[in-house]
């Protein structure tokens, strides 16, 4: 009964490279959310996806960031041309029902841009 699985746990990228963060939701969950947490800050909502659909991307930066949740496979958060300010912990969560229900988090991916 695996929980939400994220990989990699730690990712180091040089400025200008691409970062790909993966998230497999809990078994049976079709709702996925990505949050970003800066050091000593709260979690900021980025995007909400259901299989093959983006439901709410109001928290996503307009440029360089994209997310998908294909029919098969994990959800991917992609950051192109990373900058130092992208360094943060990125958490994925999933829920069984809609976005206003209990969500369960993965262990996060810590992205460091050097």
Candidate list 5, 7, 20, 45; residue touching another protein; CB under 8 A: 45
d(CA 94, CA 50): 10
Listed ranges 16-24, 40-48, 64-72, 76-84: which one lies at the site for another protein (CB under 8 A): 40-48
Contact status: 104 vs another protein (CB under 8 A): yes
Listed ranges 12-20, 36-44, 65-73, 74-82: which one lies at the site for another protein (CB under 8 A): 36-44
Characterize the bridge pairing of strands 10-13 and 109-113: parallel
Which one, 1 or 100, has the nearer CB to another protein?
A: 100
Candidate list 5, 43, 54, 76; residue touching another protein; CB under 8 A: 43
Which residue's entry shows tokens 């939400």? Answer: 4
Q: DSSP string covering 62-96, please?
A: SSSEEEE--SSS-EEEEE-S--GGG-EEEEEEEES
Contact status: 25 vs another protein (CB under 8 A): no
- Paired strand residues for 68: 76
Nearest to 86 by CA among 50, 36, 25: 36
Residues interacting with another protein, by CB under 8 A? 33, 35, 41-45, 48, 55-56, 59, 89, 91, 98-108
């Amino acid at each position: 009964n695996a929980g939400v699985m994220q990989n990699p746990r730690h990712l180091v990228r040089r400025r200008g490279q691409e970062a790909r963060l993966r998230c497999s939701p809990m078994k049976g969950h079709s709702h996925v959310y990505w949050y970003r947490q800066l050091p000593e800050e709260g979690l900021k909502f980025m995007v909400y996806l259901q299989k093959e659909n983006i439901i709410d991307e109001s928290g996503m930066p307009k440029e360089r960031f994209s997310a998908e949740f294909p029919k098969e496979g994990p959800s991917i958060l992609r950051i192109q041309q990373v900058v130092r300010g992208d360094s943060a912990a990125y958490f994925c969560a999933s829920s069984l029902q809609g976005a206003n229900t209990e969500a369960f988090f993965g262990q996060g991916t810590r992205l460091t841009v050097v």
